[in-house]
Chains A and B, each alone.
Chain A
Amino acid sequence: MGVFHLFTGGRSTQSVRVTHAAARLDALSGRMQTHRNENQTAPPGSKPHRHSMEDGSIRISAHSAHRVPLPSRKQSSRMIDPQRSIRPEQDAKSAFSGRQSLSALIGVRPADTVDETARRNRDKPRLTFAINHALVVILLLVASLGVSLTLLAQQAMNLSVLSSDGNTVQASGENDDGNDSSDNNDDGDDNSVAAERHDDVQNGDADQTGQTLDEDATPAQQDGRIDLNTATSEQLQTIKGIGPVTAERILEHRKAIGRFGSVDQLLDVKGIGSKTLEKIRGQVTVR
């Protein structure tokens, strides 16, 4: 008894074992009839491509390639390939007798072979690029890179164009960096933690323009900060957080120590604690 396993849906191309009563589903023409006739008449010169057995089953040999759309040699060898079969003993038999699989016989068009791809079940996502598609995508990416760099270049160009006819002394960024680093060599300060980066105390810096605006502005107010060593009491009192008493105390402390070396020496002044110092740090400097 044969067991008949048919796997449909294109899941795999396992070969089908047909042992007895194989159905010939050749629907192109009435081949069944002609073959049977041919079989019975059997002209002398023709190759016997079929022989009917006594038990009525029809065995088809591998030679009748011109009649039936047989699978190619590769596929026929795959048919006999034992990897895909369920019953290994059937493989040996089929290898011996060269049977065909049912899926090789099913079909309407010539393209309906075992390995057909037109009716496959498609269920995997597309993950790989074809070379043409890859080239198109790369072109699009390069175009967007061009757009992005053009925008950035326009921004940078605006910066440089207007800074050249802008202020007289204020140069572009790199000069600033260079001057600052050279001036920083004078002040070794131990509060150079990164968090204090915005608070630059060692400010003998490049933007000394000497421009003053208000009538009560003195040279001590360049860069918006008050120099502790040259400020008067009124100037000190303009700082928020310093009143007249504290201003007097600062002046006295300055007299006592000669000159301020850094803004942190304000902590020694009575009435200025760390909180007050943080508040006024942005408005004072030491030159």
Chain B
Amino acid sequence: MDWMLREQGSRDWRLLPVALTLWSASLSAHLAFDEWSTAAQPETAKTAINNAISTSATALTHVMTAIAIILSVVLIMAMRLRTRWMGTVAVCLAVACIGGITAIAADSVAWRDSASVWARNHGTLTQVRATVIAPMVASDRREYACQADVRLNGISTDTAIPSARSEQVKPTMQRSSAQARVYMPAQHCSIIHRGAVYHLSGTLQESEYGRMPLWLLVEDGSAVAQVEEPPWYRATIEHMQQSFFHATERLSDQGRILVPGLTMGVLGQDYVGVADAPAYETSSNMPTTSHTNAINETYSSTLEERFQRSGIMHLMAVSGGHFVLLADMVRRTCMRLLLTRSVSAMLMACSYVLLALLMFPGDSVTRALIMGLLGIAAYGIGRRSQSVSALSWTVIIVLIVNPDMSRSYGFALSSAAVIGIVLFAKPLSDAFHRLLPKPIAQMTAMTMGAQIFTLPIQILMEPELPLLSIPANLLVSPFVGFATLTGLMALFCAWCAPWLAGLFAWIASLGTLIMEQVAMLIGASDWAVLPWPDGVSGAVLMLAAEGGLAALAVFTVRVVRRCGQEDADADLPGRHFGSTRRLRMMLWWRETRRLLNPDTDGR
């Protein structure tokens, strides 16, 4: 009863268990569907039927036991807890059902798609008609030069081997809406534009790794024909991005790699240039498409690995920081111009959407965009924006409308970082403030808060624990803000004023120089990473280790506090004053400054 009377409306955490329930329900439904689909695959005659029956039986027993456990837990909770939890329990139950329904429905539609059927049963050459949904980047497979994500529009299933000679034949196509990743050799890389529709031919097979369910392997000599032009906004954005990469070409190696990564989320060596529009060629005599000289591959892969080992690779992905910077600038400008709050909110929303279009597509961009739009909506109607509530609504809406996102690592990492910062940054910063100066305490608290929930997810991806990530982040953090800002300004003006963009990019490369030095220094040390058991058990172990560390810290603080206290005052209220050493240092510093600058106020 006391808790309810002391509730704060400005800290609304009611939807946090709902979002967690939805995510776990969606994931479980995906896993259940995967298990069922594995059992439903027609394998050899001898083992197919037996496998199918046994696997489906085990899957069914798993599902039934899971449902029984959940129902019993819910009943026990309902009987034990007071009535005030029934609302939360009801919403969690509803959202679990919804998560399961949407996940299974989306998986079923993808399963029955013509392209998936083709890939499962044949996995051979075919012709497809596809729209490019993600820009061309460098391929992660050795045999191919570049890769792009596409959404298939149609797949043909009944023709001979298509070759460059016979491309005039347009086979009848079945409608499909599967997503696939296209791997292409070097000769086709420069003609693929985002948003355009192409006629491709290659081997369509199920993917072995990665987020896309299908792979389309295009070989040398296959026909790639453009069927439709990209829409005008996509062409404009591609032109802007291309200009930005031209502007970064004149930087040093680390600038060419890191400045695009910091600004747009794609590392310099991953970018594959497309053919320019003719209007741009007037500025340079060089032929289009490629850099003047490619980046040293050894250096770039070493740098990427060192970034990962030192735990600052998250800087190279687009996060909410970009959006917050831009929104802050827009808001201050609007306030300076004395615009009303609703107009300012609309301008901020437009800027958010524009920035999201300019970035390379990713799940963290989606999360940042939707959460930012919710915050702007709150600002627009004059309410306080609540991060936990906005993040929960983001997760709920995204996972219901696009159930595939529950398996996405980018989305999970981004959300985990935000929830860790929002929940733990302030208490940790207050705790560290007793020992450290305020800016360092705040940065350390933010780094630790972000890492609390992202470390288990990173363990799932790569089973190693970056031990030195907190010092690395501390060293790098003062420079991230201005480097990002100058990178964004270079991106905005590269299409009209390349010299200015080059200047901004050079300034940003000064910031990334420091990041590179820190990464090379810290990532090379032997103590940088600790191997960890992998898989779900590793992630659970990581959570348990964090809980253990937190308990240890709290216990230590309590013991120290109790040792320093007299027993007679043990029951008195009030807070312990704190370490006097820190206070003495602060006073000494203040007095020294007053000594050296007698005219200024020494504060």
Contact = CB atoms under 8 A, between A and B. Distances in A.
B289 interface: no
Interface centre among A134, A142, A209 (most CB of B within 10 A): A134
A205 B161 contact: no
B43 interface: yes
B157 A167 contact: yes
A126 interface: yes
Contact of B122 (A192, A205, A217): A205
Interface stretch (A15-23, A59-67, A193-201, A245-253): A193-201
Contact of B11 (A126, A184, A217): A126
A218 B126 CA distance: 18
Given A125-B12, A159-B114, A282 B123 contact: yes
A163 interface: yes
Given A197-B120, A207-B157, A117 B44 contact: no
Given A189-B44, A198-B123, A166 B173 contact: yes
Given A7-B573, A145-B101, A155-B177, A177 B124 contact: no
Interface string B88-131: 10110011001001100110010011101101111111100000
Contacts of B573: 7, 11
Contact of A125 (B7, B102, B106): B7
B239 interface: no
B177 A181 contact: no
Contact of B41 (A149, A159, A197): A197
A185 B172 contact: no
A213 B94 contact: no
B176 interface: yes
B176 A159 contact: yes
B44 A126 contact: no
A112 interface: no
B90 A138 contact: yes
Contacts of A134: 87-88, 90-91
Nearest to A199: B123
A214 B166 CA distance: 8
A189 B160 CA distance: 26
Given A125-B8, A141-B400, A192-B44, A159 B177 contact: yes
Interface string B44-59: 1111100000000000
Given A223-B124, A224-B126, A148 B44 contact: no
Given A159-B114, A212-B160, A126 B13 contact: yes
A89 interface: no
Contacts of B88: 127-129, 134
Nearest to A122: B8
Contacts of B5: 117, 120
Contacts of A123: 6, 8
A70 B38 CA distance: 73
Nearest to B82: A128
**Chain B: number of interface residues, binned into ranges:** 35 or more
A187 B88 CA distance: 55
Contacts of B47: 192
Nearest to A238: B161
Nearest to A240: B219
B425 to A, nearest CB: 15
Nearest to A143: B400
Contact of B175 (A125, A144, A159, A177): A159
Contacts of B8: 122-126
Nearest to A218: B160
Given A124-B8, A129-B87, A170-B158, A223 B122 contact: yes
Nearest to B173: A166
B297 interface: no
Interface in A119-173: 120-131, 133-134, 137-138, 141-142, 144-145, 147-149, 151-152, 155-156, 158-159, 161-163, 166-167, 169-170, 172-173
Contacts of A137: 15, 18, 91
A283 B161 contact: yes
A144 B400 contact: yes
A77 interface: no
B42 interface: yes
A124 B173 CA distance: 60
Nearest to B208: A195
Contacts of A81: none
A188 interface: yes
B87 A128 contact: yes
Contact of B109 (A138, A142, A155, A185): A155
A262 to B, nearest CB: 12
Given A124-B7, A167-B157, A213-B159, A149 B102 contact: yes
Interface centre among B87, B122, B206, B402 (most CB of A within 10 A): B122
A174 B87 CA distance: 43
A3 to B, nearest CB: 12
B74 to A, nearest CB: 15
A145 B400 CA distance: 6
Interface centre among B84, B157, B166 (most CB of A within 10 A): B157
Contacts of A86: 571
B232 interface: no
28 contacts: A120-B5, A123-B6, A128-B4, A129-B88, A134-B87, A158-B175, A159-B113, A159-B177, A170-B157, A173-B116, A173-B117, A176-B117, A185-B45, A187-B45, A189-B44, A190-B44, A197-B123, A197-B206, A198-B123, A200-B123, A209-B158, A212-B160, A213-B159, A213-B171, A217-B160, A221-B160, A223-B158, A224-B160
Given A131-B87, A174-B112, A192-B47, 17 more contacts: A123-B6, A124-B7, A124-B8, A126-B14, A147-B401, A149-B105, A152-B105, A156-B109, A166-B174, A181-B42, A189-B44, A195-B208, A198-B120, A200-B122, A224-B160, A225-B124, A283-B125
